[in-house]
Amino acid sequence: MSLSPIHVLRRKTWIFALLSLTLGILVCDSAPLLVQETDQSLFEKRIAGSNAWLEVDTQAFDENIKRVKEFLDGRAELCAIMKADAYGNGIVGLLPTVIDNGVKFIGITSNEEARMLRENGFEGRIVRARSASRNEIEEGIEYKIEEIIGSLEQAIQIKELSKSHGVKIPIHLVLNSTGMGRNGLEIGTETGKKEGLKIVRNKYLNIVGMMTHFPRAKIELIQAASEKFAEQTAWLIENSPLERENLTLHAASSFAAQNVPESLFDMVRIGGLLYGRTAPYERLITFKTRIASLHTFPEGSTIGYGGSAILTRDSVLANLPIGYTDGIARSLSNRGYVLINGKRARIVGVTTMNTTMVDVTDLPEVHMNDEVVLYGAQGDDFIDDRENRMHSERTLGEQATMWGASNPRVYF
C-alpha cells in the first residue's frame, strides 16, 4: 500500500511536514504558499519564513482514534469524519494514522478530499457527508464515493448516472427521522412513504446504507429519534427486496455515540472527538505566530482603526503579523487574549486584515520574534475551546478550518 512520506510520526521525534491545501480554497495574499515538501530542512525553513503556522500532534490523533475504538468495543464501525480538510488539521498529514488504526470508513464532502484519500493510500469506503450536485457525483465515481440521497428526484438522477457510466453508484438513503430538515426523506407522511418505497424497490439503485442526523445534543430527544429511525428503516426493509445484513445503518455523531447507546446502530460518524474537541480526548492543534515588533505609546494614545482602544497608561504593545485573513476573528478585537512566554496578553484595538496588536506592558522579558500562542498551551496557561468561543463568538470548528485554509502545518 502506498502511503504519504510521513507514515509514522512519534511524539518527541519531530518530523516536520508542510502539506499543501488542495481543496480549491483561495489562499489569501498574506498567507504563505502552501506546498508539500519532504526535506526536513525545507520544512524548518518554510516555518521560519511564515507569519503563522499550525502544529498538529499526530500522536494525540492516534490516541483519540484508539480511545473511540476502545469505547465502541466492536458495537459499531468508526467512520472518521475528515471533511473540511480534516477540520483544518490536514487530511494528508493525518491519513497514515487513520490507515494504521484500521479505520474502514472515512467521511468527506468534496471530490478533492476523496482524491487525496485515494492518492495517499486509503482503500476503504468513502462516504460523502452532504448532498452533492450532478457534476460532483459524476466526477466522484472515479473515487468510489458513496453518495447520500433523500428524495426520489435524487434517486432518479443517481439511476441515470449509473446507467450512463455502467456502474452502480453506492448510495445511503437519508431519512428525516430526527427533524434535522436538511437532507432527509420525510417518510412520516403518505407522500414520503410512497417516495421511499419507490426508492428502495428500484432495482437500478445500489442502496448500501440508511442514515439520519441528530440536530440537538439532548439525550432524551436522541433516544426518541433513534427509536423512530429504527422503526422507519425496518419498515422500508420489510417492504423492499433489501437485505438488512447488506446495509449499514448510521445516525450518531460524537455526542450521541458517547451518551446514547441506542444511537450506535452499525456505524458512528465521529469528527470532533478525533480532533480533541472534548475531554478526555486530546487536542491536536496549536496555532502560533511571532512578535514582529514592539512599540511604546503614551497614555491617551488611540490604537487601530476607529481608535476603538484608548490607552489608560503608558504602554508597550506587540505587533503580531496576523489578522483576519489568517483566521483571527475580528470579534476578538479588544477582548481576546494570546500567550507570550506563558503569560496572557490582551488584544488591543481592532484586529485587521494582516495585523493584531497586544498589550505586553506587564510581561517581563518580551522581545521581537518571541513565539506567540493564539490557541493552545504555553507554559502553564492555555487558550481553550471555551475561551476561544466566548471571545471569538465562533466554534472551534469554524476557527480551525479557517486556520488550516490559510496557514502551513507542522506535524509531530
Q: Which long-range contacts (CB under 8 A, 24 or more apart) does 396-399 make?
A: 396/277, 397/84, 397/87, 397/272, 397/277, 399/88, 399/327, 399/329, 399/375
Residue-number span of the structural domain to which 69 is assigned: 58-275
pLDDT for 220: 98
SS3 372: strand
Can you give the CATH number for the domain in which 20 is found? 2.40.37.10
Instruction: Tell me the three cell numbers of residue 70.
Output: 476502545
How many other C-beta atoms are found inside a 10 Å radius of the C-beta of residue 335? 12
Reported as a single tens digit per residue, the pLDDT across 80-119 is 999 999 999 999 999 999 999 999 999 999 999 999 999 9
235 and 149 together in one domain: yes
Across 197-217, average pLDDT: 97
Q: How many structural domains does the chain have?
A: 2
pLDDT for 241: 98
End of a domain among 242, 275, 308? 275
End of a domain among 253, 275, 297? 275
Say if strands 145-149 and 170-174 run parallel, antiparallel, or are unpaired: parallel
143 and 253 together in one domain: yes
Backbone angles phi, psi at 389, to 5 degrees: -70, -40
For the chain, give the percent of residues with pLDDT over 90: 82
26 and 155 together in one domain: no
Beta strands in 89-233 (DSSP E): 105-108, 125-128, 145-149, 170-174, 206-211
50 and 75 together in one domain: no
196 and 83 together in one domain: yes
Determine the residue type at 316: V
End of a domain among 230, 247, 275? 275
Band of residue 277 on the pLDDT scale cut at 50, 70, 90: confident
Residue 356: is its pLDDT beyond 80? yes
- Of 410, 412, 402, 411, residue with least CA distance to 23: 402
Across 297-317, average pLDDT: 97
Determine the residue type at 349: G
Reported as a single tens digit per residue, the pLDDT across 151-169 is 999 999 999 999 999 999 9
Across 195-211, average pLDDT: 98
Looking at every residue in the chain, the average pLDDT score rounds to: 90
Sequence ranges of the binding site for substrate: 182, 353
239 and 298 together in one domain: no
Band of residue 42 on the pLDDT scale cut at 50, 70, 90: low
Residue 379: is its pLDDT beyond 60? yes
pLDDT for 2: 39
11 and 76 together in one domain: no
384 and 288 together in one domain: yes
Q: CA 288, 65, 68: angle at the middle one, nearest 5? A: 125
109 and 225 together in one domain: yes
Residues catalogued as catalytic: 83, 305
Better-predicted residue by pLDDT, 212 or 278: 212
Give the separation between CA 412 and CA 10, rounded to whole angstroms. Answer: 6
- Of 157, 149, 248, residue with least CA distance to 204: 157
202 and 179 together in one domain: yes
Q: Which residue has the cell 512599540?
A: 295
217 and 199 together in one domain: yes
Give the global pTM: 0.87
302 and 158 together in one domain: no
Give the separation between CA 350 and CA 334, rounded to whole angstroms. Answer: 7
Sequence ranges of the binding site: 182, 353
